[in-house]
Amino acid sequence: MSGFLFDEVVFGPVRSRRLGLSLGVNLLPLHNKYCSFNCIYCECGWTPRLKEAPVFPTREEVSGFLEKKLRELIAEDYLPDVITFAGNGEPTIHPDFPVIVEDTVALRDRFLPRAKVSILSNASRISDPLVFEALKKVDNNILKLDAGSEKLFRLMNNPVEPVDFGALIEDLKRFEGKVIIQSMFLRGNFRGELVDNTTPEAVSAWVSRIREIHPSLVMIYPIARETPVHHLEKIGQKELDIIAKQVAAAGIGVQVVT
């Protein structure tokens, strides 16, 4: 399957399950996914092996498109709640990501000071000091953690670049709470192996990691669109609520987003 892809640098606003009315900023190529992970549930489909170097929108293009769109929305009195780095893969892969964050925050301050700047990231690049510092500058630093064990992490997120799971947890802890963790829960099979992060053992390991990281909020959510691995099970509200109670019992804010 080709997946759900965005064909614009700045898109929307769209209604987000998690963030409200969101103006999206896609820093990735417009016609294919480009990501450091190959998550089995990704709405964008599989991460392809590219024969040529990817073409990213330039820093100037991103800033220009965003300013133009903000002026249009202000004229229409249709104001988004957030400006969100999302799109066709992992936003922090963009070579100019740190300075684009600075440009975006400046444009927000100029045109839409009440809006939040957000990112949806898989956290694979947070070991890069420049990326880490840039993420500290956004209002909603939303980073992925779907599993509490390395085995489940590799089955669910299927990284295409080397990622040290233990180091990833340590880097998430370095945000000292200025991070929101997003976690997908599902059941299914991948490459002949059972994938299920809803078992008591899997949830316990994940909650233990959440305690270590101690984020400002945890967002728990189920599958919402077609997935590249077929027949993955969408987890229901009741089961997600039970998982959320374990996070709340650890003294951490939690939101179930369905």
Given this model, what pLDDT does residue 18 score?
78
Phi first, then psi: give them for residue 140, nearest 5 degrees. Answer: -115, 95
Given this model, what pLDDT does residue 12 score?
93
Q: What's the topology of domain 10-256? A: TIM Barrel (3.20.20)
Q: Which residues are CB-neighbours of 119 under 8 A, at least 6 positions away? A: 84, 85, 86, 91, 92, 135, 138, 140, 141, 142
Given this model, what pLDDT does residue 2 score?
47
Given this model, what pLDDT does residue 50 score?
63
CB distance 10 to 24 below 8 Å: yes
Given this model, what pLDDT does residue 1 score?
40
| Predicted TM-score of the model (pTM) | 0.94
pLDDT in tens, 53-105: 888 999 999 999 999 999 999 999 999 999 999 989 999 999 999 999 999 99
- Structural domain spans, the chain: 10-256
**d(Cα 185, Cα 164) in Å, to the nearest integer?**
22
Given this model, what pLDDT does residue 51 score?
63
Residues of the chain with pLDDT under 70: 1-4, 50-51
